[in-house]
Amino acid sequence: MFKTIGKGAAGAGLALLVVVGVNLYGDLLVPVGADQAVGPVGLTAASGPAAPEASFGAMLGAATAADGKKVAKKCLSCHTFDPGGPNKVGPNLANTVGADKGKKPGFAYSGAVAGLGGKWTYDDLNAFLTKPSAFAPGTKMTFAGLPKAKDRAAVIAYLASLTAAPPPFPAP
Ligand code: HEC
C-alpha cells in the first residue's frame, strides 16, 4: 500500500518534470526561431557586395561609453582616461579622438607612434586597436589588440566621451 502510493507520487513527479521540461524546451525554441527569421537577411548581405557585419560607424553609434569603460579595464595597467590624469606606461587618453597622433605633452613616444603623422580619426583608432604592432610597427604599446569590433567600438565611444569636442561619428 505504502509502496503503491510512493510509486504514484514518483510517477506524478516524473510527469511534472516532463511537463516542465517541455515548457523549458518550448521557451528555448522561441529565440532559435527568431534567429532563423534573421537568417535570410544575413544570407542576402553575405551574397551581395555589402559586408555581412554591421559597419563600424553603426557599431560606434550603438556603443555606449559605459560599455567602453568596461572594455577599458584592459588598458588601465598602462593608461589613465580621466581628463588631467597622469601618463603611466602609456599616455593619458583623454582628448585623444581627433588629436595629433603621438603628441601628448610630457610623454616619450616611440618613433613609430610619434612618426605616424595626422590625427586620430575613428577609423585609425579602430585600426590601431585591432593590432597596435601592425598599425605602428615598433610601437612600445605592448598590447595584443582588441580582436572584437564591438569591443573596439565601445572603447572608442568611451574615448570620444572623454574628448572635449569629439568629431562626429562616421556614417553607419
Ligand atoms: C602594456 C601597456 C599598454 C596597454 C595594456 C595599452 N596601452 Fe595604449 N599605449 C601604451 C604605450 C606605451 C603607448 C605609446 C606607444 C608608443 O609611443 O609607441 C600607447 C599609446 C596608445 C594610444 C596613442 C595615444 C597618442 O597620444 O597617440 C592609444 C589611442 C592607446 N594607447 C589606446 C589604448 C587602449 C584603448 C588600450 C586598451 C584597449 C590600450 N591602449 C592598452 C601602452 C599600453
CATH number at residue 151: 1.10.760.10
Residue 144 belongs to domain spanning = 56-161
Same domain assignment for residues 14 and 87: no
Higher pLDDT among residues 65 and 40, named by residue: 65
Q: Is the pTM of this model over 0.95?
A: no
Count of beta carbons in the 10 Å neighbourhood of residue 162? 21
pLDDT exceeds cutoff 80 at 133: yes
Residue to probe by mutation, ligand 1, list 67, 69, 70, 75, most atoms within 8 Å of CB? 75
Instruction: Give how many domains the chain has, as a whole number.
Output: 2
Q: Does residue 102 sit within a domain?
A: yes
Same domain assignment for residues 28 and 107: no
Q: Does residue 170 sit within a domain?
A: no
Query: Of 23-32, 73-82, 107-116, where does mean pLDDT reach its minimum?
Result: 23-32
Same domain assignment for residues 45 and 64: no
For position 54, what pLDDT does the model report?
85
Q: Residue 23 corresponds to which amino acid? A: N
Question: CA 25 → CA 28, 31, 39, 73, distances in Å?
Answer: 5, 11, 21, 37
Task: Report which of 86, 60, 41, 63 is spatially closest to residue 168, judged by C-alpha positions.
Answer: 60
| Side-chain-facing half-sphere of 70: CA atoms under 13 Å | 8
41-98 tens-digit pLDDT: 444 444 555 545 789 999 999 999 999 999 999 999 999 999 999 999 999 999 999 9
Same domain assignment for residues 71 and 153: yes
pLDDT exceeds cutoff 60 at 122: yes
Atom of ligand 1 nearest to the CA of 112: 18
What is the dihedral angle through the alpha carbons of 41, 151, 58, 171, rounded to the nearest 10 degrees? -140
Same domain assignment for residues 39 and 71: no
- The rounded radius of gyration (Å) of the Cα atoms in the chain is 25
Higher pLDDT among residues 86 and 13, named by residue: 86
